[in-house]
Structure 1
């Protein structure tokens, strides 16, 4: 019964919701690189007119010195640290060139070099910070204070003081302070920042809510399920920041050759200085030309070509609920040319329902009660379905002892002194069972319950296809040029029905976890680059064996989330092709950047070797190409980049339509025939099959299958 306070508050909703906080943006003065660059530029602009006007050296000289010191001390110090580690740093080459120009009296040219280099470094620092801000801004969505409900009443506390198990009151129009479960009240919550759903989602007791999402016109009491550091928003930010500290293979290769290239630039500079002087050339002009060469040949733009596009793509994906764990992963996702999809929890919603109970050696009610007790400790979606079905019928699962989960086969436990095994027919039966055959022929997943070694009953389970599954399959086919493959431990009729509805033509059914991994390894050995998308413990071996892997985050097991290279937090399958497309675009921009950088270096070097490139123009061309490359990579931070990646491809009807079903007959563990590997459905009791319009004959049907199709 809702409290009067809760009812009173829910009736006084504000007319308009508070504006969504603006994305966090670093102000220019906050960055030390910007402050030093500004000081260097101001000193140069003050010295420049005095120098040109022929003013006394004691006036403009200190200003130039300040310009050199402010703009050059940080890159110079970084270069010296690199030298101590026996590596050459591009920054040090710039400082040496500026000092060399000043040594021959070209204070103006050297000062201009320092200013342009400092401004370029400030822009790079700002771009890097803005990349981080684009994701860290999510943290600003969560309020700083929360109303905690205690036995003595209500108190306002800092969100950091909330603990798991606390109850908080969220009034209409307020943002939720923590991840949790609704205890009391009903409202619509705008959770687009987390799940990407365009419309508010109705929330009632038992529903999950997220920190930073916006409550609608009803008041809610929410039990806190995670502290501030463990919220979905905080995990998104932490994983994206961790990814920012990694380096893609292309970047590692560039850095590997950079050292040799930089050493070659220094050697060529010394040669350009020594050889002409040996033939009597003018020292000033020769030194100026050599310094110009060292500047324009430096690989600054090449070094910057790789990471900004990849990190921008990671940040953009993170804002849309896809956590890519490293730059390596983001680069590899764009290389995939085959996709393998799990069924339960990936193609389907992962919320199966028990739609029929067939008692054999025991009554149906007893079968369901024992199965629920054995499945209760399991985290597999089918286990949750069995437990939920028992509770709907007033059967609270009893205690289970000696619980053992066998991924791909099922579970076993001691319940009230009896050994109970719940799992797939292929793993538990040695002969055909009519009840199992009936369930599978109608597209259900059959779950067998053994009690003390005797077949006690069969459960029929269904699941629904995700709304975006056909679109995601079509998009993945368009990206890779090959149709995705369905890998599942479920029976073949159920798997083929899901495949037909989602547009998949190739199905491998009845696979154990090791069978899934073996299939992935076989593709990899054949030269394919496989992306595996899954969610369960039984998917972990395949996720680990794949070139790239993604896990569905909301229903995914901890092992799958840990093993996968990327996590889909919002649980929308359509984000999988979007991230692959974003990765491919990032790789294209990397190539663009390398071409731009290489072309600029080549043109400027040839121009300088021809003896006609002024130092200021060389500096401007070199630093301009560096800034251009950096800004080109940051294009992937824009919202339009995600919309473009997520845009549906043109419809492809060539491989859509019905897929021939598998034979109806099944006999014990050999029932999975044809292309399927022998084995069990995935998960603790095998993956769920989609719902069908008809219930298998002979199965008690307390809940008819959903009208929409299947899992």
Structure 2
């Protein structure tokens, strides 16, 4: 027998960790009676003699005993140099593997072996580097550190005092400059020493400390003091900019209210929102925020869902309509039945997925990282050569030593390394605010390079709620035909299946008992109805099962010529009737396609529907159509389109999973449904089809910011390299160029947080 369990409920880390998957497979195969284990479609599938449910937790504990995941928040981690020191600390500890590190968010995810005390060793290493580390789930936030502010203020005060004294007593002023250098340089020297001990000798703190110390030794204490002061001010500005970047996501987290009005025997009682459970009933007052995902039970109102789905106009809600945590009730009181609360809400899932996406490095970021690893040592080698070679050929020792110190400061790659992750993080946060979820920097980059967008028809270009227009029985009454078709489609998730069930319920027809339901992707569905095999399928599939009478074929042709979708109902291998449906195009479909055309992106419709219906929809919307496609034919067509350039596939995230996976980018439509969030590379949290064009615009804006940042970082480095070697600028200008560039690239990236989605 086969048994299946959702991976997220079994071992969540196994969704993306190959080591977890391997260990879980081995542990499950060790259970009595388990013959085969495989992971597919977000689930663990077992072939076993009996249900292993009671022993499942035993196998999971075996995995967690030797391999577990945990996410931490590291306070003070806000630059690329800091991140490398933490990476180095993880690399040297056996049993620890650093999975994801996001310096802008200050988050790190680890996989470690609990039996080796590896986690404690990593925490001690991070604390020795001068950072505070805590579990990210603890909900606490360490107050911002103040020593840096005091150090900068003291350095600035001593420097100003020494400058004033220099007009009357230059000798005493020299001691003042030295004191200012010590006040600002001592904390830097300590962090440099920690970095060296952690195996990270080429960090920015080491370079600045060496430059300041060298300047004092050659009698340039004033310049040394200016260097440490400017560096301190730059670090404060970097910290502020990083905090702004984090606030883009933190603002989303703050949308869920802390408390909720729980209804008990009709009376509201205030409780913590995180304590709500499925099945609870909550009261949402006008002006209040929804504390959990659920369904409206009583009342009518309009909800502002813009923070979650990006929908700018309040959405009308009534009994049976879904509501999302974080939405604002704008009119009347609502009673809501809780479906998902706490970390299971759509908003919580979006936050989790965005944080994961921010930690995944984009291709450009990986390229810049590799470049910077060689850049700093090479510049340091160049600085040493500048110090040593010219004096050997008659140059002034002090002059060239000074220039070498300036080169040390130019060698810091902070601005370059932070240029890409800052832009990607801001772009992902901006998208999440507009209901555009992108799973990582690589996907965000690819979206801007798209040449073609392929759309599924049903539920994507159309409303996805086809209405039954015709019932044509052949050998039995109309009611019986509808009832038997509804029996075959019982429990169906396909739009046509739901339309049949909806019509049967409205007509009040008897639906006979059925069993053995089976879905045939792109063809139809089968089941045993009162013990007899029945099929509801496309005319193409029905023709493979039975000889269709000429009269039936003529009816099919007539209906399809009207832009309708026809399906044939068969009992055994005999046609017993014909059903027809019509699905209306989305209101915003034409505008969405117009925006894509304006962006230079080609649109094409891929559908399993008949060519006549597809042509009718395509003609109305003005795009190319490929019809009558089976799932494998869609895959082949996407492969062909990819030869012409990058391709995105847009579908509902459920019935189009293979096609979404085959495309360069799979975009799932869906009103924030869990399936849409989990299936594709990107998801539109509302059914705004114009969101596809917005995704491309966001990507291009992000790529533009990345290119500008890299040009700015490298351009400033190159300019000051030349001016330093020619003697036009000195130490303080070199450090100003470095810290200034870091602040500028971060500020440029933060502009993306204001992304509006308007077509320029």
**Equivalences for residues 232-631 of structure 1 within 5 A:** 232-279=346-393, 281-395=395-509, 400-430=514-544, 431-432=547-548, 433-480=553-600, 482-504=601-623, 506-524=624-642, 526-554=643-671, 558=675, 561-631=677-747
Distance 1:331-1:75 versus aligned 2 partners, 3 A rule:
farther
If the length of structure 1 is used for normalisation, what is the TM-score?
0.80
What does residue 140 of structure 1 align with?
254
Instruction: Indicate conservation of the 8 Å contact 1:533/1:550, yes or no.
Output: yes
Q: Does 1:220 align with 2:334?
A: yes
Instruction: Indicate conservation of the 8 Å contact 1:72/1:114, yes or no.
Output: no
**In 1, Cα distance between equivalents of 2:246 and 2:193:** 26
| Equivalent residue pairs, number | 609
Structure 1 window deviating more from structure 2 (295-304 vs 627-636): it is 295-304
1:57, distance to aligned residue in structure 2 (A): 8.2
Query: SS of 1:386's equivalent?
Result: helix
What does residue 49 of structure 1 align with?
160
Instruction: Indicate conservation of the 8 Å contact 1:535/1:556, yes or no.
Output: no
Distance 1:152-1:205 versus aligned 2 partners, 3 A rule:
closer
**In 2, Cα distance between equivalents of 1:69 and 1:361:** 94
Distance 1:595-1:76 versus aligned 2 partners, 3 A rule:
farther
Distance 1:554-1:197 versus aligned 2 partners, 3 A rule:
closer
What does residue 682 of structure 1 align with?
none
1:257, distance to aligned residue in structure 2 (A): 1.5
CA deviation map 1:563-608 (0-9, x unaligned): 4210000110101101101211211222222222222111111111
**In 1, Cα distance between equivalents of 2:144 and 2:399:** 33
**In 1, Cα distance between equivalents of 2:324 and 2:214:** 58
Instruction: Indicate conservation of the 8 Å contact 1:373/1:398, yes or no.
Output: yes
Instruction: Indicate conservation of the 8 Å contact 1:109/1:616, yes or no.
Output: yes
CA deviation map 1:657-699 (0-9, x unaligned): xxxxxxxxxxxxxxxxxxxxxxxxxxxxxxxxxxxxxxxxxxx
> Structure 1 regions of 5+ residues with no counterpart?
1-25, 650-711
1:317, distance to aligned residue in structure 2 (A): 0.8
**In 1, Cα distance between equivalents of 2:143 and 2:269:** 41
CA deviation map 1:533-561 (0-9, x unaligned): 11154422221121222110228783x65
Query: SS of 1:351's equivalent?
Result: coil
Query: SS of 1:511's equivalent?
Result: coil
Instruction: Indicate conservation of the 8 Å contact 1:160/1:227, yes or no.
Output: yes
Distance 1:571-1:114 versus aligned 2 partners, 3 A rule:
farther
Q: Does 1:69 align with 2:186?
A: yes
Instruction: Indicate conservation of the 8 Å contact 1:168/1:223, yes or no.
Output: yes
Q: Does 1:40 align with 2:151?
A: yes
Structure 1 window deviating more from structure 2 (46-55 vs 160-169): it is 46-55
1:290, distance to aligned residue in structure 2 (A): 0.3
**In 2, Cα distance between equivalents of 1:266 and 1:61:** 25
**In 2, Cα distance between equivalents of 1:166 and 1:396:** 34
1:251, distance to aligned residue in structure 2 (A): 0.9
What does residue 129 of structure 1 align with?
243
Structure 1 window deviating more from structure 2 (57-66 vs 159-168): it is 57-66
Distance 1:114-1:396 versus aligned 2 partners, 3 A rule:
farther
**In 1, Cα distance between equivalents of 2:398 and 2:448:** 51
Distance 1:514-1:266 versus aligned 2 partners, 3 A rule:
same
Distance 1:65-1:512 versus aligned 2 partners, 3 A rule:
same
**In 1, Cα distance between equivalents of 2:422 and 2:277:** 38
1:62, distance to aligned residue in structure 2 (A): 5.5
**In 2, Cα distance between equivalents of 1:123 and 1:416:** 74
> Structure 2 regions of 5+ residues with no counterpart?
1-104, 106-140, 166-170
Instruction: Indicate conservation of the 8 Å contact 1:71/1:115, yes or no.
Output: no
Distance 1:540-1:556 versus aligned 2 partners, 3 A rule:
farther
**Equivalences for residues 614-653 of structure 1 within 5 A:** 614-638=730-754, 641-642=755-756, 645-647=757-759
Instruction: Indicate conservation of the 8 Å contact 1:162/1:227, yes or no.
Output: yes
Instruction: Indicate conservation of the 8 Å contact 2:177/2:222, yes or no.
Output: no
**In 2, Cα distance between equivalents of 1:621 and 1:113:** 11
Distance 1:401-1:78 versus aligned 2 partners, 3 A rule:
farther
**Equivalences for residues 655-670 of structure 1 within 5 A:** none
**In 2, Cα distance between equivalents of 1:112 and 1:599:** 23
Distance 1:194-1:399 versus aligned 2 partners, 3 A rule:
farther
2:222 to 101, 108, 118: 108
Distance 1:91-1:66 versus aligned 2 partners, 3 A rule:
closer
Structure 1 window deviating more from structure 2 (374-383 vs 39-48): it is 374-383
CA deviation map 1:182-228 (0-9, x unaligned): 11222222222233333322221111111122223322211111112
**In 2, Cα distance between equivalents of 1:74 and 1:378:** 62
Structure 1 or 2: larger strand share?
Answer: 2
Distance 1:563-1:197 versus aligned 2 partners, 3 A rule:
closer
**In 2, Cα distance between equivalents of 1:147 and 1:397:** 41
Instruction: Indicate conservation of the 8 Å contact 2:569/2:575, yes or no.
Output: yes
Query: SS of 1:337's equivalent?
Result: strand
**In 1, Cα distance between equivalents of 2:672 and 2:173:** 74
Structure 1 window deviating more from structure 2 (170-179 vs 343-352): it is 170-179
**In 2, Cα distance between equivalents of 1:233 and 1:39:** 39
Distance 1:578-1:34 versus aligned 2 partners, 3 A rule:
farther
**In 1, Cα distance between equivalents of 2:674 and 2:191:** 47
Q: Which has the higher contact order (CA 8 A, sep 6+)?
A: 1
Instruction: Indicate conservation of the 8 Å contact 2:188/2:209, yes or no.
Output: no
CA deviation map 1:401-433 (0-9, x unaligned): 322222222222233323232232222224553
Query: SS of 1:554's equivalent?
Result: coil
Distance 1:202-1:563 versus aligned 2 partners, 3 A rule:
closer
Q: Does 1:195 align with 2:195?
A: no
CA deviation map 1:97-116 (0-9, x unaligned): 23333444434333333333
Query: SS of 1:212's equivalent?
Result: coil
1:269, distance to aligned residue in structure 2 (A): 1.0
If the length of structure 2 is used for normalisation, what is the TM-score?
0.75
Instruction: Indicate conservation of the 8 Å contact 2:653/2:680, yes or no.
Output: no
**In 1, Cα distance between equivalents of 2:341 and 2:653:** 25
Query: SS of 1:403's equivalent?
Result: strand
**In 1, Cα distance between equivalents of 2:673 and 2:457:** 13
